[in-house]
Structure 1
Amino acid sequence: KEYFEKFAPVTLLDMLQRIPGVQEILNKNREQRRQARSGGGGAEAQGGRGFGSGGDQILINGKRLAGKNNNINDTLNRVSANQVEKIELIRGAAAGLDVQSQGLVINITMAEGMSTSTTFWKLTGRYFIEQSKIPPSLLVSHSGSSGDLQYVLSGEVKNTRRYASRDEEHFNALGVQTGEKFIDNATITQSVALNSNISYSFEDGSDLRLNGLFDTGRNDRLEEQEELGSQPLHTLWDTDNDVKKWEIGGDYTRKLGGFGQLKALFVVNNEDNAMGIIRDKNILTDVEYQYGQETTNLDKSEKIFRVSLTNNLTSKQSIEAGGEAAFNTFDKAFVDNRRSSVIDPLSLRSSDNVAIKENRYEIFANHTYNFSPSLVLQSSVTTEFSKIVADSITTNTQRDTSFTYLKPRMNLRYDFTSSDQLRLTVEKKVSQLNFNNFVTSFDQRTDQLVFGNTEIRPEQVWDFSAVFEHRFPNDAGSVEAEIFYRDYTDHITKVDFTEYENLAGNNISADEFFALPTADLDILRDTTAFTSKSGNIDGATAKGIKLKTNLRLGFVGLPQAVVSLGYVYEKRRELDQFTLDQIGFNRMSDHTFTYSYRHDITAWDFSYGIEGSFRSKFGNRERNYTWPWKFGPGYKIFAEKTIAGGYKLIAEVWRMDMGTGRSTLTYYDDHRRFNDVIERSEKLHKSPAYIRVILQGTF
């Protein structure tokens, strides 16, 4: 704790930001939460439903936070710095952790046996350079302790904006320009959240922690499109999205003498999401009318219970064994009504309604063997049992499927010296299914329906990695290199679900269909319903390297400045199910580069720095289009100053969403294998940078 005093931290997050490598963990946690909110994730993701043994690499008193929506990243900004006793950096495999290490685990030990009371507040305003509004956000958090009781109570009002625009040039199959399109998009997000974290240490050594969250808000978007050229059109898409969610979680730890230590966790949560979209044509004219109306209603809930027992077998060996049960519901309904003229009534174009119940159970055992102070082997095996019942109300069909997976993991840590460490990991992972793939939806980016598939299976992957880390003396930083290889089974991607037939009406394969004479194909194309959905394939792989370094610049006279650099080369390849070519994964780049620089001038109570990232081009493909992208760089420039009264003023310039760049969307008639281009759109994506100003303090 004394190490951080020179930085005058206000919150726990202020302390962690001074530790090289922690920002990468925070960013990774944020990405896992994003995947979890979307309904699942790939087999490498640690987000999604249930707890599992992976997840947050930041622990408080050796335990993860028993929450999903109420997560560790948000908690760090609500805990007062004066409640922290120490921060431990744990590299590689180690016994007694609440999660399996993915390299570096941060364990925060809270101060005990003292009475404190602190109220933290933070006022935030965003100013977009091309706009004039500065919507404010406010966070107030009261934390305290009295003897063995610790608590954090907070309320937050978020009020944010996001603006994006797009300029398009449209060309026909001959390359002749047919028109232009200009799109302006404004998103308003407003929410009110109440959080609580309470912990109590009993006299017998047991600990109880309880967490609560209530969050309600809206996420509304207005998109105006003006098309010029041979078919001029002026449209407006108005989206209203209301979200309400709550969560209660907790954990209990108790020592049972010779039986070891008991750990139990639970989480119960629910989310309601209602979205309506109104689409108008010919706006600002006498013939303006509503041509489309969509509604999407989602109600999902989760109940998780996890219990384990940890015991020392010998002075060098420990074992943890237990089980987890997760019960999920996911009910989603989609309705799309359209009309082609103002005199026609709105009529149903497409609808889907799916009710899903998933019961997942895990039995696990984790064994840690400390062969010597320099050699640790951690092995685990998890057996997962799941049952998914998906009722399609629209088609009056039901999917009732059970899965059983064995997921072994081995992690070896060897310290050549106190500065050099080797980590070897072999692990089988199984994805969480994204239930959004079960339900038909409308893709506004491509202006077409995306059909659901209730028969999709979880994605499996064998993950092999080797990491070497060298730490420089005197806390001067580290350098790390990793090589990895992943082999996928049931990889989830876009799959051709077309039912192909020849002129005789016999079912044939796609290869046989496209090998038919041209005259036959000309006839069959008019009667064939070309269809694609998310599905499973085999044969996908990924391999690559990760390089990163954190350097304290004392060797150039800046001992309080830290620079971090990271590079990832990940070659992900799968078989394009429509053209049979080897391609990269959808929306995944081969190259990613990240950087950050932070300089704390403690004599002035001032800090400044920059962080950012950029990645190579990537693509998105479907049955009837290709869409390669090249994003511009994202960055954040910041400066922090502690002013009179102990208040901290922070100014930031953001363009971290990488919403700028270029892309080319090419539509094909029926199927890309015909290679009949309908239209090509050259798109210039623009997202203005914004300035964020924060004033925070305590009393």
Structure 2
Amino acid sequence: MKKSGFLTTVMLSALMLGNAYAGQDTTDDAAIVTYDQAYFEKFAPVTLLDMMQRIPGVQEIIDKNREQRQQAARGGGGAENQGGRGFGSGGDQILINGKRLAGKNNNIDDTLSRVSAGQVEKIELIRGAASGLDVQSQGLVINVVMQEGASSSTTFWKLTGNYYEGTSAFPPELLLSHSGSSGDLQYMVSAEVKNTRSFFTRSEEHFNAADLQTGDKFIDNRVITQTLTLNSNLSYDFGNGSELRLNGLYQPGLNNRLEDQNETGTQPLHTLWDTDSDTSKWEIGGDYSRNLGSLGRFKGLFVINNDTEDQAVLRDRNIGEAGEFRYAEESTKLDKSEKIFRGLVTKKITESQNLEVGGEAAINNFNKDFEDNRRSIATDPLTLNAGDNVKIKENRYEIFANHTYDISPVLVLQSSLTTEFSKIVAVSSSAAAPRDTSFTYIKPRVNLRYDVSGNDQLRLTVEKKVSQLDFNNFVTKFDQRTDQLVFGNTNIRPEQIWEFSAAFEHRFANDAGSVEAEVFYRDYTDHITIVDFTDYVNLSGQPITADEFFALPAADISAIRGSLNFTSKSGNIDGATSRGLKLKGNFRLGFFGLPQAVFSASYSYENGKELDQFTKEIVHFARISTHTFTFNFRHDITEWDFSYGFDGKSRSTFNVWERNYTWPWKLGFGYSIFAEKNILNGIKIRAEMKNEDNGTGLSTLTYYYDQRRFNDVLERTEKNHMRPKQFILSIQGTF
């Protein structure tokens, strides 16, 4: 069947489904669709996550929420992501009782699988701008309404085993969660033991500048990660609209990574890298809300947390030979903490207008030490090759006002103005002087929602975003992927973005699915990328720019080149832009006789462009694929208490570069297949196979002498990255 014919058939499937699968309720506000307990009864869900996965389009929100949080956790957040520090007005698009969870490490993603389905009253899908939400909508907000009143108690358990193809590992994992309520008190405590593994192999072919093969290398990498997570949530309703919620988390862990590299050819070498890390996280958070009568409603939130990591890396060469010796030792110590306090008052100023005003303070401390000791031969002592010690304190404050105006039953205008004040004090052993910098940013946002009909909605958004700095970019570190040092820069400025977007959504009647299209344009100021920090000079030793240096006669360049210390760091540039398109659809396949099957697909196109600071050519953003396609299928056979499905993700080639290399990647195709069955009342067994795309596929790493603008190739390496399939078997239940 042709592609257009297939899409037409799927559209007809959604349109003709009619009352065959009606189950959701539409409120007086056409932008809110409600799924109550009656809708989920036929699925016999065990957890809140089970319930949400039965709603068309929600799985994408869950996945996006998780990806944004993981990306923020790797650094300091970003202008386009959920922030890594502070709360802000954006964030999780999944709320419980209209509120976000007051936590960072203790987050909503983990909570979904710990809440019993029996505790949920209903789930609301809120499309577009709406008043009274704890976050600004990014298109679709999910609000979970919990049951109140009668006392209850439920214990959820889950036992998981993981097997990786070609290995003997089958590490078990266990989750226990007990939740309940007694009158106005609700509580949940949980303990989870995770025992994850990660395996990947890489085969390499090495070529010299003349394109002659000089050798091969095979890399075998194995990672063991073990964590214990103790988690608690407590809420108490004082009546009269006053409620207190508290949560806590403690998570110690360890990580061991062993990488064996065996190179043959003109320069044979067998090395072993052994990395051990001890980690610890703790967090306390909470929020309190109460009615203030004619003044409106007050809400206060706080989070206090701390993360530590102690990492040691041992590097040995000539493995298994008489000359085996340790050529390098590295150590990295990290200690970071955050204190967040946020308060706001919401007031309905007229029947059609709602105003929210408030402020937030976030105090962050980031301390990181890095030390790299090396030697060339076994008889030499290990001496300091590179080191850095960075201490950072960031105080961020913001005041904000959010105004929602229901112009008519079908037209809602939401506008906000946030002013951010921040001060960063950074002291680095590798910097000439301490940094003491203050920033002030004004961040407006306007979002217009127009309900063209009960099923059609148009959303227009204009927003100024400001990133949070990734403090890891302040510190020198060793990049194991490229076997070279990456120097820190304490003078990076936050990235600013003006974003313009327009989205149109059509929702099919009777829960038959939806289709959506969005276009966007982003204009960047102080875009963060890799920047040339080389101190160029002419023959007289006078400082000149890079462009002036490369404009010198070839003889002058040749005479000067050997004396230069070519250096690159993360830094800021202007002139970057990005534009793109997002398409997505969710379809219930009643036309094919499968009213309980849902197929979802999405496609995104992003064309981000910046000026390469080394070659002075316009290039695409690093690490971002121009094309991304995802799909998801789930079929619930309720009469058998059985479900199965699959999902997949494919991305086009993206590039990574530095001063002295380019590294284009074509990731492999990632997919997973699952089947699950309720074998007894409240007990479910699930089998799943995963083939991750992350870190797999083909790549070409090309090194250049000194700087890529010379175009002097040193060597080229063709890499084939592979991961074994993962098989997961789990059984879970409640009592």
TM bin, normalised by shorter chain, reads: over 0.9
* 1:224 Cα deviation from its structure 2 partner: 0.1
* 1:41 Cα deviation from its structure 2 partner: 3.0
Task: Give the unaligned 5+ runs of structure 2.
Answer: 1-36
1:12 equivalent to 2:48? Answer yes
8 Å Cα contact 2:78/2:84 also seen in 1: no
Q: Distance in 2 between matches of 1:645 and 1:110?
A: 22
* 1:525 Cα deviation from its structure 2 partner: 1.1
Q: Distance in 2 between matches of 1:355 and 1:553?
A: 56
| Selected match of 2:635 from 599, 616, 635 | 599
1:357 equivalent to 2:393? Answer yes
Q: Secondary structure at the match of 1:586?
A: coil
8 Å Cα contact 2:609/2:619 also seen in 1: yes
Q: Secondary structure at the match of 1:387?
A: strand
Q: Distance in 1 between matches of 2:164 and 2:83?
A: 32
Q: Distance in 1 between matches of 2:79 and 2:406?
A: 29
| Selected match of 1:254 from 290, 310, 322 | 290
Corresponding position of 1:588:
624
| Selected match of 1:80 from 96, 109, 116 | 116
Instruction: Write out per-residue CA displacement over residues 420-470 of structure 1, whole angstroms, 9 at most, x where no aligned residue.
Output: 100000000000100000000000000000000000000000000000000
RCO higher in 1 or 2 (8 Å CA, sep ≥ 6)? 2
1:26 equivalent to 2:62? Answer yes
Corresponding position of 1:243:
279
Q: Distance in 1 between matches of 2:556 and 2:486?
A: 28
Corresponding position of 1:664:
700
* 1:35 Cα deviation from its structure 2 partner: 2.3
| Selected match of 1:340 from 376, 388, 391 | 376
Corresponding position of 1:490:
526
Q: Secondary structure at the match of 1:643?
A: strand
Q: Distance in 2 between matches of 1:607 and 1:535?
A: 49
Q: Distance in 2 between matches of 1:381 and 1:638?
A: 45
Q: Distance in 2 between matches of 1:151 and 1:580?
A: 58
Corresponding position of 1:685:
721
1:313 equivalent to 2:349? Answer yes
The AA in structure 1 aligned to 2:530 is K
Instruction: Write out per-residue CA displacement over residues 52-106 of structure 1, whole angstroms, 9 at most, x where no aligned residue.
Output: 0000000000000000000000011111111101111100000000000000000
* 1:561 Cα deviation from its structure 2 partner: 0.2
Q: Secondary structure at the match of 2:294?
A: helix
Corresponding position of 1:145:
181
Corresponding position of 1:61:
97
Corresponding position of 2:310:
274
Q: Distance in 1 between matches of 2:724 and 2:509?
A: 42
Q: Which residues of 2 match residues 557-576 of structure 1 at below 5 A?
A: 557-576=593-612
Corresponding position of 2:151:
115
Q: Distance in 1 between matches of 2:529 and 2:547?
A: 19
Q: Secondary structure at the match of 1:32?
A: helix
* 1:657 Cα deviation from its structure 2 partner: 4.1
Q: Distance in 2 between matches of 1:434 and 1:186?
A: 27
Q: Secondary structure at the match of 2:434?
A: strand
Q: Distance in 1 between matches of 2:269 and 2:354?
A: 69
Q: Distance in 2 between matches of 1:28 and 1:435?
A: 24
8 Å Cα contact 1:612/1:656 also seen in 2: no
8 Å Cα contact 1:35/1:47 also seen in 2: no
Corresponding position of 2:508:
472
Corresponding position of 1:380:
416
* 1:397 Cα deviation from its structure 2 partner: 2.5
Instruction: Write out per-residue CA displacement over residues 157-195 of structure 1, whole angstroms, 9 at most, x where no aligned residue.
Output: 000101000000000000000000000000001000100
8 Å Cα contact 2:72/2:78 also seen in 1: no
| Selected match of 2:404 from 368, 371, 376 | 368
Corresponding position of 1:47:
83
1:410 equivalent to 2:446? Answer yes
1:283 equivalent to 2:319? Answer yes
Q: Secondary structure at the match of 1:13?
A: helix
Instruction: Write out per-residue CA displacement over residues 463-491 of structure 1, whole angstroms, 9 at most, x where no aligned residue.
Output: 00000000111110000000000000000
| Selected match of 2:575 from 514, 519, 539 | 539
* 1:667 Cα deviation from its structure 2 partner: 0.3
Q: Distance in 2 between matches of 1:203 and 1:99?
A: 24
Q: Which residues of 2 match residues 507-518 of structure 1 at below 5 A?
A: 507-518=543-554
Corresponding position of 1:549:
585
Taking only the aligned residue pairs, the percentage that are identical comes to 69
* 1:39 Cα deviation from its structure 2 partner: 2.5
Corresponding position of 1:437:
473
Corresponding position of 2:251:
215
Instruction: Write out per-residue CA displacement over residues 176-235 of structure 1, whole angstroms, 9 at most, x where no aligned residue.
Output: 000000000000010001000111101222011000000000121000000000111000
| Selected match of 2:460 from 424, 435, 438 | 424
The AA in structure 2 aligned to 1:82 is G
1:619 equivalent to 2:655? Answer yes
Q: Distance in 1 between matches of 2:384 and 2:559?
A: 29
Q: Distance in 1 between matches of 2:335 and 2:694?
A: 31
Corresponding position of 2:6:
none
8 Å Cα contact 2:289/2:299 also seen in 1: yes
8 Å Cα contact 1:38/1:436 also seen in 2: no
Q: Secondary structure at the match of 1:313?
A: strand
1:158 equivalent to 2:194? Answer yes
The AA in structure 2 aligned to 1:418 is G
The AA in structure 2 aligned to 1:483 is V
The AA in structure 1 aligned to 2:258 is L
* 1:284 Cα deviation from its structure 2 partner: 1.2
Corresponding position of 2:127:
91
1:182 equivalent to 2:218? Answer yes
Q: Distance in 1 between matches of 2:350 and 2:680?
A: 56
| Selected match of 2:172 from 136, 148, 154 | 136
- Paired residue total: 699
Corresponding position of 1:524:
560
8 Å Cα contact 1:245/1:270 also seen in 2: yes
Greater shift after overlay, 37-46 or 317-326?
37-46
* 1:522 Cα deviation from its structure 2 partner: 1.4
The AA in structure 2 aligned to 1:366 is N
Q: Distance in 2 between matches of 1:181 and 1:85?
A: 57
Q: Secondary structure at the match of 2:87?
A: coil
* 1:645 Cα deviation from its structure 2 partner: 4.6
8 Å Cα contact 1:206/1:254 also seen in 2: yes
1:578 equivalent to 2:614? Answer yes
CA-based RMSD of the aligned residues comes to 0.8
Q: Secondary structure at the match of 2:251?
A: strand
